[in-house]
Homo-oligomer: A and B are copies of this chain.
Amino acid sequence: MVSIKDVARCAGVAISTVSKVLNDYPNVSEETRERVNRAVEELNFVPNSVAAALSSKQAGRVALLVDINSKTSAIDEINMQHITGALNRAMELNLDVITLFSFMYRNMTVEELIRYLKSQSIAGIIIYGMSKEDKVLHKLVETQEFKCVVVNAPLVNKSTSSVGIDDRKAQYDVARKTIEENNCKRVLYIAGKRNGYVTDERLLGMEQLAKELGLTVLVRNGEFSELLARNITMKYAKNKDVVVCASDLMAIGAMKALIDMDIFRPVCGFDGIVLMGYVGKQMNTVRQNFAEVSRNAMEELHTLLAGGEGRKVVLPHQLVRMKYEDIIC
């Protein structure tokens, strides 16, 4: 393995000089810098990130904490987009990434989790799918032992940023579009998981719209479950004009139920997952570009690691209509 030592010898300089060049330190003459870079090229040197991580405690090792509780593998699409988006940017930024799924840290206390992360020389974390009830993760963020970026949850402190779309506005937008297209008055709103951040935000969006348009809204908790949404629809949809769902999966459950009940009601969802194209009926939904959101999360973590302060980053969303022809390829 070609190491920094070889580069130093080849360039005729000291190891530390090479290190300085590699890490863009000042106080290196242009000439030496060039000589070192030539040596790097020539020897095809790639810095050993493990050694770097060990040596400098503030190095670029980052962990992805991915929630994976649901058995519904439609969610896989979202997680996968999250992971690829993050890894993509991480590679460009030269950050080392390890991925942790919730089942891997479910049984840990905060202390254990912190120790584990430190034992891995982790400096920054991105958290996906965090709910209000994740005590451990909340404490983790609060300790500020690591730089954190929380995706789709409004947690911000000095070393923690939040990244995501404006859930309230998005829910407002998609519901408004669907309701106006179909001239509805009575709404069945199937909300997400009780105590979820996005659940509450989206509900607020729906309520605001209801007030503005003078709608009557029946709210039921679907827990992001397709089956529950199905059952709720069976029970309440008949004397409603529209079913607004806080997730695509629930929208699919609702739509399938309506088909089985042999009545038509417009349904709209939230997320823009591919599965929406397979239901047979087109639905409005909010397209979140999960990969892009995650890229931004990684970017934000990077600036945090570079000394930036935590803040709230809001990304744009898009209203779309998912149909089979657009999905297939």
Contact present for A120 and B50 (CB under 8 Å): yes
- Contacting residue for A103 out of B46, B81, B88, CB 8 A: B88
CB proximity to B under 8 Å, residues A235-280: 252-253, 256, 273-275, 278-280
- Who on chain B is nearest to A57 by CB? B1
Contact present for B121 and A48 (CB under 8 Å): yes
Task: Say yes or no: is A131 at the interface (Cβ < 8 Å to chain B).
Answer: no
User: Which B residues are CB-close (under 8 A) to A252?
Assistant: 278
- A285, chain B: closest CB distance, angstroms: 15
- A contacts, CB < 8 Å to B: 1-2, 44, 46-51, 53-54, 61, 68, 71-74, 76-77, 79-81, 83-84, 87-88, 91, 96-101, 103-104, 111-112, 115-116, 118-121, 225-227, 230, 252-253, 256, 273-275, 278-280, 324, 328-329
The 3 A-B pairs at the shortest CB distance, nearest first, are namely: A76-B80, A46-B119, A50-B121
- A101, chain B: closest CB distance, angstroms: 6
Contact present for A115 and B46 (CB under 8 Å): yes
User: Which B residues are CB-close (under 8 A) to A225?
Assistant: 329
